[in-house]
């Protein structure tokens, strides 16, 4: 859909602020090429051939053609550009004073500053990408891990839209069948036809539910999760914490109770951002400081998505372990049986752990043996490492999850209505709601204020 709403030309710096080798200043709009030609010397060859970089001076026409910089300038002709409009990109030297001067000249020639995400908004409104792809641009820019970037790249290629397209076609076919029955009253649905439609609706809703169910893991991949290391004093929590973060972040001594407060560090586990929290040892506190530390540990247990219970395989008794596991019984847990370098643990310890329904992971925080297995166990506990493989569609966006849920509910309501013998008009209400929801997801039917909220989260220049 070609938009008619953009009569002006926008400009923004598309590279991060600060000093760098190169900075990119981007123009987009119907006057982009004219504005660009006004600040390069005649004969620069800019505008002769699209998609070809031209090395030329960048000049200030208000100052008798004073040269601002030597730049590489590329013109992308509409509609075969990112925004679907004429785009001109100036690659200038990355000194802030040069970038500001180039930006100032382009503004003085009639461009206006772009709002956050406006380049991508224009790409969406001009039909270059759908709304899920536009959101993927933001997700890719904000990616903190390789796995997040891969998921964003797949959505940018339209994987979610492609997955939904057959479902939308099935939904439209069902609507046509029911609308035809309403139009021609004498062609009431036979029992067999109703049963077939119900079966098709149940199948389509199940497909949507499978996508919706992936959000639990997708949200964790997108937003990360918290892991609290808990255990008795001197069980090796801080040593294991340092192994997991790959640096000496927490203080480690042979004296029990060294950790008095929470120590937090962001890490990446299997491509997922994770906030690791080292906690004070759980024990009967002997003074006010210890009481505060133990209290914060118990709060961390409640707040964590996964609790990594660290047990000293050389010293902890089975009674101590049972008490510790009972205190963390409501949490999603991984049990690390530490100090494997000192020999095999007492069988009663393993039995006590397994009685709680958890299989321990043997590890030595001193030597590093088993640390990778601990990382994998934490990821499995939160969602299953097999689900993190780069295949299939993973829903990572709360807006997508809400609309998919709404679409599935509409289909389910329609199937229930048909099964109960209600009229086709009743079933069509649910089906039209489903189609509306799927249209909102990809942007075919979207409310303007929703666009405003989405693109306000973008950076300027994208």
pLDDT in tens, 426-462: 989 999 999 999 999 988 876 676 777 778 778 877 7
Q: How many CA atoms lie within 13 A of 374 on its CB side?
A: 27
> Which residues, in sequence order, are bridge partners of residue 25?
13, 90
Tokens of 454: 């989405």
Q: Are 29 and 6 in contact (CB under 8 A)?
A: yes
pLDDT at site 4: 47
pLDDT at site 417: 92
CA 10 – CA 110 distance, rounded (Å): 9
Tell me what percent of the residues of the chain surpass a pLDDT of 90. Answer: 45
Lowest mean pLDDT among 85-99, 241-255, 421-435: 241-255
Q: Is the dihedral of CA 87, 93, 94, 97 positive or negative?
A: negative
CA 68 – CA 92 distance, rounded (Å): 10
Helical (H) or strand (E) element with 260: none
Contacts of 284 (CB under 8 A, 6+ apart): none
Contacts of 66 (CB under 8 A, 6+ apart): 59, 60
Tokens of 265: 């560090």
> Which residues, in sequence order, are bridge partners of residue 54?
73
- Note the pLDDT tens digit of each residue in 148-196: 888 889 899 999 999 999 999 989 888 888 887 776 555 555 655 788 8
- Note the pLDDT tens digit of each residue in 334-358: 999 999 988 888 888 888 888 888 8
pLDDT at site 189: 56
Q: What integer is the mean pLDDT of 399-405?
A: 94
pLDDT at site 430: 93
The label of the residue with tokens 């929801």 reads 437
Tokens of 213: 């169910």
- Note the pLDDT tens digit of each residue in 22-56: 999 999 999 999 999 999 998 889 999 999 999 99
Q: Are 150 and 218 in contact (CB under 8 A)?
A: no
DSSP 235-256: SSHHHHHHHHHTS--S---SST
Q: What integer is the mean pLDDT of 399-421?
A: 93
- 255, pLDDT greater than 80: no
Please tell me whether the overall predicted TM-score, pTM, comes out greater than 0.85 for this model. no
Q: What is the mean pLDDT of the chain?
A: 86
Q: Which residue has the higher pLDDT, 63 or 364?
A: 364
pLDDT band at 1 (very low <50, low <70, confident <90, very high): very low
The label of the residue with tokens 């959505």 reads 155
Q: Are 174 and 193 in contact (CB under 8 A)?
A: no
Tokens of 462: 């994208």
Tell me what percent of the residues of the chain surpass a pLDDT of 70. Answer: 88
pLDDT at site 185: 55
- 7, pLDDT greater than 80: yes
Could you tell me the domains of the chain?
10-129 (3.30.1360.120), 140-214+395-443 (1.20.120.430), 224-388 (3.40.50.300)
Lowest mean pLDDT among 67-81, 201-215, 233-247, 290-304: 290-304
Chain mean position to CA 455: 15
pLDDT band at 258 (very low <50, low <70, confident <90, very high): very low
């Amino acid at each position: 859909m070609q938009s008619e709403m953009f009569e002006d030309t926008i400009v923004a710096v598309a590279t991060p602020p600060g000093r760098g080798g190169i900075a990119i200043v981007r123009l987009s709009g119907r006057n982009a090429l004219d504005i660009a030609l006004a600040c390069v010397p005649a004969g620069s060859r800019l505008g002769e051939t699209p998609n070809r970089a031209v090395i030329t001076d960048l000049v200030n026409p208000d100052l008798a053609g004073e040269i601002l910089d030597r730049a590489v300038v590329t013109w992308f002709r509409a509609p075969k550009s990112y925004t679907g409009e004429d785009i001109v990109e100036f690659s200038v030297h990355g000194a802030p004073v040069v970038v500001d001067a180039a930006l100032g000249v382009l503004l003085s020639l009639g461009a206006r500053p772009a709002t956050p995400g406006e380049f991508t908004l224009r790409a969406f409104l001009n039909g270059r990408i759908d709304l899920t792809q536009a959101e993927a641009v933001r997700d890719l820019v904000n990616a903190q891990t390789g796995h997040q970037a891969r998921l964003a790249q797949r959505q940018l290629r339209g994987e979610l839209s492609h997955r939904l397209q057959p479902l939308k076609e099935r939904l439209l076919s069902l609507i046509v069948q029911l609308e035809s029955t309403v139009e021609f009253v004498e062609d009431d649905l036979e029992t067999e036809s109703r049963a077939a439609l119900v079966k098709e609706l149940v199948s389509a809703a199940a497909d949507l539910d499978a996508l919706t169910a992936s959000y639990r893991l997708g949200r964790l991949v997108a937003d990360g999760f918290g892991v609290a290391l808990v255990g008795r004093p001197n069980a090796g929590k801080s040593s294991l914490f340092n192994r997991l973060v790959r640096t000496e972040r927490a203080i480690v001594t042979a004296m029990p109770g060294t950790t008095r407060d929470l120590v937090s560090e962001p890490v990446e586990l299997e491509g997922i951002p994770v906030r690791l929290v080292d906690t004070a040892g759980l024990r009967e506190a002997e003074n006010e400081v210890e009481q505060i530390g133990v209290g914060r540990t118990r709060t961390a247990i409640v707040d964590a998505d996964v609790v990594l219970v660290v047990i000293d395989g050389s010293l902890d008794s089975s009674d101590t372990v049972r008490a510790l596991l009972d205190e963390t019984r409501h949490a999603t847990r991984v049990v690390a049986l530490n100090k494997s370098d000192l020999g095999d643990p007492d069988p009663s310890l393993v039995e006590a752990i397994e009685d709680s329904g958890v299989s321990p992971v043997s590890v030595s925080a001193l030597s590093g043996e088993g640390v990778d297995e601990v990382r994998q166990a934490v990821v499995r506990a939160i969602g299953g490492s097999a689900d993190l493989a780069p295949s299939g569609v993973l829903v990572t966006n709360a807006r997508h999850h809400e609309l998919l849920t709404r679409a599935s509910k509409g289909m389910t309501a329609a199937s229930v209505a048909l099964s109960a013998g209600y009229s086709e008009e009743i079933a069509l209400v649910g089906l039209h709601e489903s189609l509306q929801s799927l249209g909102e997801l990809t942007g075919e039917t979207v409310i303007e204020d929703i666009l405003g909220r989405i693109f306000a989260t973008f950076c300027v220049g994208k």
